[in-house]
Amino acid sequence: MKQKRFILQETELPTAWYNIQADMPNKPMPPLHPGTKQPLGVDDLAHIFPRECCVQELDTEHDFVPIPEEVMDKYKAYRSTPLVRAYALEEALQTPAHIYFKNESVNPLGSHKVNSALPQCYYAKQEGMTNVTTETGAGQWGAALAYAASVFGLESAVYQVKISMQQKPYRSSIMRTFGAAVTGSPSMSTRAGKDIITRDPHHPGSLGTAISEAVELATTTPNCKYTLGSVLNHVALHQTIIGLEAEKQMAMAGEYPDVVIACFGGGSNFGGIAFPFMRHNLKDGKKTEFIAAEPESCPKLTRGEFRYDFGDEAGYTPLLPMFTLGHSFKPANIHAGGLRYHGAGMIISQLIKDGLMHGVDIPQLESFEAGMLFARTEGIIPAPESSHAIAATIREAEKCKRTGEARVILFNLSGHGLIDMSAYDQYLNGDLMNHRVSDEDIRQTLKSVPE
Ligand SMILES: *Cc1c(COP(=O)(O)O)cnc(C)c1O
């Protein structure tokens, strides 16, 4: 009989995260102080982030990092997530490929982000903090953080990009349900916000404005830490629970992936599913191919440059070694809000430089077409972000159809799209379009990268 879903029992859950930095042939270059250009250490970063996260951020030694028992207990509320064989999608595509997906939409918040929100809040609590703060765009990270803060008894304050707050009202409802104080950014509650509003009273807000406000709140409030939902190494570390489970579940299915695919914003869900399998490429001679699917409107992996650049639009953060389009790059307002980021995380950027993985860029309409086919075959409405991974998977499956190869493809379903239905409405009404970036635009914004 054909088995559709593979589930781990609680006793079979992985108990340590995988730190790929320990096994990388070339370690990521360090984050630099923007003024002195000196490498930053744990003490520099720990002003802002929980200290344990800073230790993990810079750890290039330990390949496995034990998951604290308190975090394991909270993971058990929704883990393991199912590994699913997409038989119906395979049939619709008439492909000989075997397609599997890891369903990270099955948790209280509907995306993978909670996998890192839980440990970040746990460490903040352990270190005696009472408050956490962050910024959020579309709201997936803010919602995950609000939930995790409530689980560990912390107060949370979330700065949400003002325009996104209006476009996705239900995400702020979710955050407030879990007790978060949600403020539209720019706001009058911080000096940074006041300055922006004084200059431009109708500023719609951006991740740049929201980061500045959240960091200011964290550095001016006693016992308050700032948290981040993507890009940084420790976030990808926490997300490896996805791939470590998938590794065991693929073994239950009696298969091993030839291709691993995930959508790409800052790299956390990609790293989460890919790194545990990449470990076997690095150590055991496996030859799995790794594909990160980015939007055509924000193509840092396929068309960006490897440079030291700021992590935020406003230029407040340390300088990070990354594939970037320039921190002043303003992506089109596509519906995959979680993929609208100008750069790639430090680990991923080094792995691309070393040829260990590669990116593909997906036009918005192709991503929605893929999402529709997935919904109509497998019965799950994917997040617009996740639809980029589905589109890349379909491309690979169609290649297999042409060559007759039965490759095993594994992709990560990073979230569901049930709070993004206005985006589906617009697609169905024919109101969406593609947003290819011109070479000239990229040349211009790369000029914002410091020398
Ligand atoms: C935030 C988000 C992403 C993109 O972030 P990564 O750090 O690249 O994983 C992708 N999918 C969903 C559903 C998200 O919420």
CA of 261 to the centre of ligand 1 (A): 13
8 backbone dihedrals φ, ψ, rounded to 5°: -95, 145
Q: Tell me, what's the pLDDT at 315?
A: 79
Q: Which residues lie across from 296 on neighbouring strands?
A: none
Q: Tell me, what's the pLDDT at 314?
A: 75
Q: Tell me, what's the pLDDT at 44?
A: 94
Domain boundaries, the chain: 69-110+234-446
User: Of 230, 275, 387, 418, which is best to mutate to test ligand 1, by the most ligand atoms within 8 angstroms of its C-beta?
Assistant: 230
CATH topology for 69-110+234-446 is: Rossmann fold (3.40.50)
Tokens of 304: 């960006």
CA of 12 to the centre of ligand 1 (A): 26
> Ligand 1 — pocket residues by CB below 6 A?
111, 113, 140, 230, 263-270, 338-339, 383, 385-386, 414-415
Q: Which residues lie across from 415 on neighbouring strands?
A: 111
CA distances from 260 to 267, 312, 368 (A): 14, 29, 20
Q: Tell me, what's the pLDDT at 313?
A: 77
Q: Tell me, what's the pLDDT at 138?
A: 86
| Burial class of residue 125 in the structure, from the number of CB atoms within 10 Å of its CB (0-12 exposed, 13-18 middle, 19+ buried) | buried
* pTM (two decimals): 0.97
* Mean of all residue pLDDT scores within the chain: 96
- State the DSSP string of 73-115: HHHTTTPSPPEEE-HHHHHHHT-SSEEEEEETT-STTSBTTHH
Q: Write 355-358 long-range contacts (CB < 8 A, 24+).
A: 356/278, 356/281, 356/282, 356/290, 357/274, 357/278, 357/290, 357/291, 357/292, 358/290, 358/291, 358/292, 358/301
CA of 132 to the centre of ligand 1 (A): 20
Please answer whether residues 142 and 182 qualify as being in contact, where contact means their C-beta atoms are separated by less than 8 angstroms: yes
Summarize pLDDT for 93-115 with one digit per residue, the tens: 999 999 999 999 999 999 999 99
Q: Tell me, what's the pLDDT at 330?
A: 85
Tokens of 450: 């410091």
CA of 252 to the centre of ligand 1 (A): 27
CA of 78 to the centre of ligand 1 (A): 18
Q: Tell me, what's the pLDDT at 391?
A: 99
CA of 199 to the centre of ligand 1 (A): 32
Residue 351: CA count within 13 A, CB half-sphere? 28
E strand or H helix at 5, and its extent?
A: strand 5-6
Which stretches of the chain score pLDDT less than 70? none
User: Of 233, 263, 348, which is best to mutate to test ligand 1, by the most ligand atoms within 8 angstroms of its C-beta?
Assistant: 263
